[in-house]
Amino acid sequence: MPKPQRREFLLGAAGLSAVPFLGDTATVQGGDVSFQNNVPDPAVSGKELPTFKYALEKSTGKVMRSSYGKEATVTQLPISKGIAGVSMKIEPGGMREMHWHATAAEWAFVISGRVRTTVIDPEGSAETNDFEPGDIWYFPRGHGHMLQCLGNEPCHFILIFDNGYFSEFGTFSVTDWIGHAPKELLAKNFGLPEAAFESFPKDEVYFAFGPVPPEPAKPPLQGLKPPPLTHKYRLLAQPPHRTFEGGREWRVDSSSFPISKTITGVVLDLDAGALRELHWHPTADEWQYVISGSVSVTMFGSHGRYRVESLEAGDVGYVPQGYGHSIENTGPGPARILIGFNTGIYQNIDLSQWIAGNPADVLATNFSQPAALFEKFPKKDVFLTDRDGPNG
């Protein structure tokens, strides 16, 4: 078995560039890239923790007519090296044109309106799906797809990518490709005269506009050839994964949505004053988008470093893998947060769970406190609590 090639890379939308940087290293084998977090990341290795907040919806992004895409990558939020996100709104009759992503898989959550997608995989299987609010999709890296607004109301959805260096505006678009390929090559490729391509767009369209799509969807040119795994999951149509005194949690990873091998999604509803307790994720970074309400997010980064950020609707938060954090609803009403993780299997360790997993004498020695004090602590994982706490 050949020894894995070990190099450092800067990841970009168009692929891997051999530009060294002081950050994670990558092992490359068989075309796959895996990261080892064994080099201090300058973004989080200073004496103070950097900001982990970005006002996504207040940014300008790319606007065409009344459709837009706004992104949060390491360019806008340098700490977010493991995950990038996009807020996209498409007007009726609008389409995010046919494209693919060379360096990232795409996970999406529909906030409002209805969306149609088509996707093709390397085996030639194709799937068309219609989505409503609360639904999600997942497209593996490199799979060709398009996104289209359905009906007479605009649609709004959040895209999550498993690579913070990915840029939504650096994707591989079909109009950009065909517009720059020689016409004689296109004619030979498709068996058509060169003149057939004279009126095709000469540059990337990005958003295409036409009539409102038909319902139901028409079959593909090749006929129906469905993939073995669906790209659609109805997250909020399911009962909550867990319900607490202070809120609810919906969760989907590859155990319930098998195609989603690199991204896990959570929708967290927090009642006023509720707290998603202090915890960390051993195997993934956490990307947060506040759908509604306002929250306080804390982050602990070792060596006495601690930072608090206030997030409102439309803001993004980011917590690197292994960093302790919490989310508290600080507004007068309920809050809803969309959370993405760059892993196919969800894992977390809660502080209450860790405390409860140790004997009282160990805790007494660790904290120099009477053992009797720890008998008053929760005897099980809290995860989420209301404004009065787990003993309220």
Q: Is residue 241 annotated as a catalytic residue, yes or no?
A: no
Q: Which of 71, 91, 97, 99 is catalytic?
A: 99
**pLDDT score, position 38:** 61
> Which one is catalytic: 168, 249, 286, 328?
168
**Active-site residue identified among 145, 276, 279, 325:** 145
- What pLDDT sits at residue 37? 53
What pLDDT shows up at residue 298?
98
- The per-residue pLDDT for range 177-193, each reduced to its tens digit, is 999 999 999 999 999 99
Catalytic option among 71, 96, 231, 328: 96
242 as an active site residue: the answer is no
Out of 71, 91, 101, 325, the active site residue is 101
Q: What is the pTM of this model?
A: 0.90
Domains 53-233 and 239-385 share a fold: yes
Query: What pLDDT was estimated at residue 169?
Result: 66
Q: Judge whether 145 counts as a catalytic residue.
A: yes
Q: Is 96 a catalytic residue?
A: yes
Parse the chain into domains and list their residue ranges. 5-36, 53-233, 239-385
Q: Tell me yes or no: is domain 53-233 CATH 2.60.120.10.
A: yes
Q: Which H, E and C letters describe the chain, residue by residue?
A: CCCCEEECCEEECCEEECCCCCCCEEEEECCEEEEECCCCCCCCCCCCCCCCEECHHHCCCEEECCEEEEEECCCCCCCCCCCEEEEEEECCCEEEEEEECCCCCEEEEEEECEEEEEEECCCCCEEEEEECCCEEEEECCCCEEEEEEECCCCEEEEEEECCCCCCHHHCEEHHHHHHHCCHHHHHHHHCCCHHHHCCCCCCCCCEEECCCCCCCCCCCCCCCCCCCCCCEEECCCCCCCEEECCEEEEEECCCCCCCCCCCEEEEEEECCCCEEEEEECCCCCEEEEEEECEEEEEEECCCCCEEEEEEECCCEEEECCCCEEEEEECCCCCEEEEEEECCCCCCCEEHHHHHHCCCHHHHHHHHCCCHHHHCCCCCCCCCEECCCCCCC
Regions of the chain where pLDDT drops below 70: 1-39, 169, 392
The CATH class given to the 239-385 domain equals mainly beta
Of 91, 97, 106, 249, the active-site residue reads 106
